[in-house]
């Protein structure tokens, strides 16, 4: 399986590719299935969750499926006031602010709390395409609990961390237990790799990352026996600390230069990323140029997985994703200079058949 081989830095026949948030709102077949179900209902229904997981695999021929679920699923199983508001994100009616709130949390009992996850993963594991399980990392989960919803600057989370580090550590420890159980549940049911989403940890300084986060993330990733992918956004300043968490794969966003990271860390980790998802809203020539530049920076050494730097935006034309998969498979390991213009001089890159304007 080329995705798993790339995670393990083994040679592959073609560059593997999948997209974060590939299962979702850019697909009309997803929107149709979701019409009469809210997202948590869809996740709790194994038949629907199976179908939504497989939709992008069939349509785009990506090299991995990612379970249709959400990072807040285990928290919503413990606290029914946690919901996902369309167009906004996870929301909890009574945010966590004091030690008395700790009693609202407990460890997950997978067969009772999330039986639908086990059932969906077991079915998906029968498919020939590898399945990625996932979870939110403790800091990112804590930020939703403490803020009460999405936040630009995570002010309440950081204030609590500074004012009451003991309470903050207790909360992170409980969440680490939940995260690890959620991941192990998916692995036991058949997930072949996992991705840990620490989406919002880039808001911290390296000092605070090392003080509060590093050890916990190290412990979670260290307890997993399948390939692990560490995802974070806007963390150029934290990279030297994040690599100490020892994932199999580092997933990077577009702010981090792929070329330099591959040369700095490529002999220790596989790298995943890092195309800016907003580029997919641009005309096809721009997309081609940026895909080619990404492939060129990634180079041909083993241990590279093509992906975006963050999730697919809902406005994305799904045909663009299908074309990118085809293009990456065809040219990812060619080793030729794909985009003369992007790294040096004028473009000589052919436009992939399906990527030309108007198609
Ligand atoms: O990648 C996939 O296709 C698998 C499914 C998946 C979802 N959420 C489904 C979803 C995954 C991997 C996630 C992870 C997730 N959820 C993260 C980490 C990745 C990241 O984006 O940084 C985070 C932070 C969340 C929390 C969350 N859930 C947010 C911020 C939102 C956005 C709100 C919105 O409407 O865009 C959600 C909702 C959500 N989770 C949607 C999907 C398909 C969209 C809502 C819908 O379809 O109604």
Average pLDDT of span 122-138: 98
Say if residue 302's pLDDT is above 60: yes
Asked if 151 contacts 143 with a C-beta cutoff of 8 angstroms, the reply is: yes
Nearest atom, ligand 1, residue 87 CA: 35
- Residue 247 inside a domain? The answer is yes
- Residue 353 inside a domain? The answer is no
Q: pLDDT tens digits for 228-254? A: 999 999 999 999 999 999 999 999 999
CA-nearest residue for atom 22, ligand 1, is 199
Say if residue 30's pLDDT is above 50: yes
- Residue 356 inside a domain? The answer is no
- Residue 291 inside a domain? The answer is yes
Residue in 13, 54, 12, 46 with CA at minimum distance from that of residue 30 = 54
Q: Ligand 1: which of 38, 42, 66, 71 to mutate, judged by most atoms within 8 Å of the beta carbon?
A: 71
The rounded Å distance from CA 277 to ligand 1 centre is: 14
Say if residue 173's pLDDT is above 70: yes
Packing angle between helix 165-189 and helix 138-147, nearest 10 degrees?
Answer: 120
The rounded Å distance from CA 146 to ligand 1 centre is: 18
Quote the CA–CA distance of 158 and 205 in Å, as a whole number. 11
For the chain, the average pLDDT equals 93
Annotated catalytic residues are: 21, 25, 34, 70, 144
Specify the pLDDT at position 208.
97
Domain limits for position 189:
2-348
- Residue 357 inside a domain? The answer is no
Q: Tell me if 33 CB under 6 Å of ligand 1.
A: no
Q: pLDDT tens digits for 48-59? A: 999 999 999 999
Specify the pLDDT at position 354.
44
Question: How many domains does the chain fold into?
Answer: 1
Specify the pLDDT at position 336.
63
Specify the pLDDT at position 24.
87
Q: How far is CA 159 from the centre of its chain?
A: 27
pTM metric for this prediction: 0.94
Q: Tell me if 251 CB under 6 Å of ligand 1.
A: no
Q: Compute the CA torsion angle 205, 20, 354, 300 (nearest 10 deg).
A: 60
Say if residue 357's pLDDT is above 60: no
CA-nearest residue for atom 27, ligand 1, is 89
CATH number at residue 190: 3.20.20.210
Specify the pLDDT at position 337.
56
- Residue 359 inside a domain? The answer is no
Q: How many helices (H) and strands (E) does the chain have?
A: 17, 9
- Residue 355 inside a domain? The answer is no
Measured at the CA of 173, the angle between CA 171 and CA 179, to 5 degrees, comes to 100
Q: Ligand 1: which of 121, 194, 311 to mutate, judged by most atoms within 8 Å of the beta carbon?
A: 311
Packing angle between helix 318-331 and helix 284-298, nearest 10 degrees?
Answer: 40
- Residue 259 inside a domain? The answer is yes
Place of tokens 């990812």: 332
């Amino acid at each position: 399986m080329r995705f798993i081989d790339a995670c393990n830095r083994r040679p592959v026949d073609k560059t593997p590719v999948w997209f974060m948030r590939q299962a979702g709102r850019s697909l009309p077949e997803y929107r149709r299935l979701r019409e009469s179900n809210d997202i948590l209902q869809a996740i709790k229904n194994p038949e629907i969750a199976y179908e939504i997981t497989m939709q992008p695999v069939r349509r785009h021929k990506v090299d991995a499926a990612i379970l249709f679920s959400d990072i807040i699923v285990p928290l919503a199983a413990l606290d029914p006031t946690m919901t996902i508001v369309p167009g906004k994100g996870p929301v909890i009616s009574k945010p966590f602010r004091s030690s008395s709130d700790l009693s609202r949390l407990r460890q997950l009992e997978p067969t009772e709390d999330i039986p639908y996850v086990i059932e969906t993963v077991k079915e998906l594991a029968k498919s020939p395409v590898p399945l990625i399980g996932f979870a939110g990392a403790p800091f990112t989960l804590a930020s939703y609990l403490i803020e009460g919803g999405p936040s630009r600057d995570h002010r309440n989370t950081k204030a609590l961390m500074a004012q009451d580090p003991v309470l903050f550590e207790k909360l992170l420890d409980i969440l680490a237990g939940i995260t690890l159980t959620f991941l192990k549940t998916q692995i036991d049911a058949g997930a072949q790799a996992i991705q840990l989403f620490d989406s919002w940890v880039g808001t911290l300084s390296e000092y605070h990352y090392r003080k509060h986060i590093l050890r916990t993330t190290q412990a979670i990733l260290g307890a997993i026996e399948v390939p692990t992918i560490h995802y974070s956004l806007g963390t150029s300043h934290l990279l030297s600390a994040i690599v100490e968490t020892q994932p199999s794969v580092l997933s990077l966003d577009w702010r981090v230069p792929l070329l330099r990271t591959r040369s700095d860390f490529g002999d220790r980790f596989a790298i995943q990323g890092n195309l800016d998802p907003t580029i997919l809203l641009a005309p096809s020539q721009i997309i081609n140029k940026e895909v080619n530049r990404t492939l060129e920076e990634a180079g041909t050494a083993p241990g590279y997985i093509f992906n975006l730097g963050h999730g697919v935006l809902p406005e994305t034309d799904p045909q663009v994703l299908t074309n990118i998969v085809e293009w990456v498979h065809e040219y990812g390991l060619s080793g030729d200079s794909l985009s003369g213009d992007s790294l040096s001089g004028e473009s000589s890159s052919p436009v992939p058949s399906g990527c030309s304007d108007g198609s």
